[in-house]
């Protein structure tokens, strides 16, 4: 058998209809399953995608968020190959995984997608996974790419293994030879630090600007996303099916919230009872909309917000209430009782004077109190910060 030209590839065709959800997500509906569709901007501008009508879609398979998705290349009314059949050419790294690299002759390389991607396959009686290159034919069955034919193994075709010389185009050294002057020839640059001494583990700069994170190879852990939105005014609401719906703008994003009537009553009560209040609405992030997202399972907690002046008044009243009353002075001597009463009268007098000063007009000035002299007048009692009560 003559050896065919080998190169990295993963492409196929689907007969499906394009569906767009309320959240704006595009799906390819084959009648049996729905798969997420990724439409590049250049494809969307070139073709007029018809929603709801069945067509033959030329797609690249890709795993996204743990599910099989397809990048749309083109579509037509007539098939170019058998629908549901895919041609996959790459390195077999596991019995159920094949790695698709970028070919060396690729004329445009983007820093975010130059790395290889893994595709999950279903291959019965698969050979030993030693990273060899294979040409596979697969059929899409119930969301899986089942291998129906295989040819190989072959030597690895030329591929891009390092992005250090690539960025938004062809080889950077081939594009910028004119920038090297005679004063600094290329040989002097390589002698200072040969390229062979630069390992993949050592980035180009210490700042980390040239280091690219391959998020597709990172294995995620399970987590729980909870959101909290704070509001301090009653929004406009529309009620439907015992649920109160309203919108909240958060940093330019519109969040759609639905509260049950019992939760919404908390906001109405706070708005009519408190002068200032704040509500914390928590929930889970739901479907993505054109200008934001939906907050699911929302619940509200309302708190009264007190101003600074009100807080100071409450502190003064609390200090006043902390003074002992006549009924709390059991077992106290008559001299101590008289002293405590004088202190209570003094504190009440200071509170009255403070209130009169705050309400007095600019023209009215409070009359200062006459100071007692040493020869006449009753001496004023001293302020006592702390006192002890002895119970007998």
If asked whether residues 150 and 232 sit together in one domain, one would say no
Structural domain contains residue 204 = no
What is the number of domains present in the chain? 2
Structural domain contains residue 377 = no
Structural domain contains residue 133 = yes
State which of 240, 271, 304 marks the end of a domain. 304
Phi then psi for residue 75, to 5 deg, are: -150, 155
Structural domain contains residue 180 = no
Structural domain contains residue 76 = yes
pLDDT per residue, tens digit, the chain (392 aa), is 334 578 999 999 999 998 888 888 889 988 888 999 988 888 877 776 767 778 898 999 988 877 899 999 888 888 888 899 999 999 999 888 999 988 888 777 776 667 788 899 999 888 988 889 999 999 999 888 999 999 989 988 988 877 655 444 544 444 444 444 444 444 444 444 444 444 444 444 454 455 777 777 788 887 878 889 999 999 999 998 889 999 999 988 899 999 999 999 999 999 999 888 999 999 988 888 888 899 998 999 998 887 666 656 665 666 555 555 544 444 555 566 566 666 666 656 665 565 555 555 445 445 555 444 444 555 555 555 555 545 54
If asked whether residues 45 and 144 sit together in one domain, one would say yes
**Looking at residue 164, what is its pLDDT?**
58
Structural domain contains residue 296 = yes
If asked whether residues 40 and 138 sit together in one domain, one would say yes
If asked whether residues 238 and 141 sit together in one domain, one would say no
CATH number at residue 110: 2.40.50.140
**Looking at residue 104, what is its pLDDT?**
82
Structural domain boundaries, residue 282? 227-304
**Looking at residue 291, what is its pLDDT?**
86
């Amino acid at each position: 058998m003559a050896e065919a030209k080998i190169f990295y590839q993963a492409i196929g065709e689907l007969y499906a209809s394009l569906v767009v959800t309320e959240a704006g997500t595009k799906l390819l509906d084959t009648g049996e399953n729905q798969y997420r569709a990724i439409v590049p901007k250049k494809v969307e501008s070139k073709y007029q995608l018809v929603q709801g009508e069945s067509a033959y879609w030329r797609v690249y398979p890709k795993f996204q968020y743990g599910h099989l998705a397809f990048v749309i290349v083109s579509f037509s009314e007539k098939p170019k190959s058998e629908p549901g059949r895919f041609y996959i050419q790459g390195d077999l790294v596991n019995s159920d995984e094949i790695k698709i690299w970028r070919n060396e002759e690729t004329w445009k390389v983007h820093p975010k997608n130059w790395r290889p991607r893994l595709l999950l396959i279903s291959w019965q009686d698969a050979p030993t996974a030693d990273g060899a290159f294979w040409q596979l034919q697969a059929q899409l069955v119930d969301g899986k790419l089942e291998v129906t034919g295989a040819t190989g193994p072959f030597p690895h075709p030329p591929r891009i293994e390092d992005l250090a010389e690539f960025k938004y185009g062809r080889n950077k050294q081939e594009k910028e030879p004119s920038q090297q002057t005679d004063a600094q020839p290329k040989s002097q640059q390589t002698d200072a630090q040969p390229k062979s001494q630069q390992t993949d583990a050592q980035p180009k700069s210490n700042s980390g600007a040239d280091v690219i994170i391959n998020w597709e190879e990172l294995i995620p852990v399970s987590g729980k996303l909870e959101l909290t939105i704070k509001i301090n005014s009653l929004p406009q609401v529309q009620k439907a099916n015992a649920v109160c719906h309203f919108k909240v703008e958060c940093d330019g994003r519109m969040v759609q919230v639905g509260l049950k009537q019992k939760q919404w009553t908390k906001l109405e009560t706070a708005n009519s009872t408190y002068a200032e209040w704040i509500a914390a609405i928590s929930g889970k992030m739901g479907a993505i909309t054109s200008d934001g997202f939906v907050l699911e399972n929302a619940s509200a907690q309302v708190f009264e917000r007190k101003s600074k002046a009100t807080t100071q008044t409450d502190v003064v009243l609390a200090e006043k209430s902390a003074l002992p009353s006549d009924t709390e002075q059991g077992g106290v001597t008559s001299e101590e009782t008289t002293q405590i009463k004088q202190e209570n009268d003094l504190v009440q007098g200071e509170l009255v004077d403070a209130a009169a000063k705050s309400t007095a007009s600019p023209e009215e000035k409070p009359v200062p109190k006459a100071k007692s002299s040493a020869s006449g007048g009753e001496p004023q009692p001293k302020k006592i910060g702390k006192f002890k009560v002895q119970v007998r």
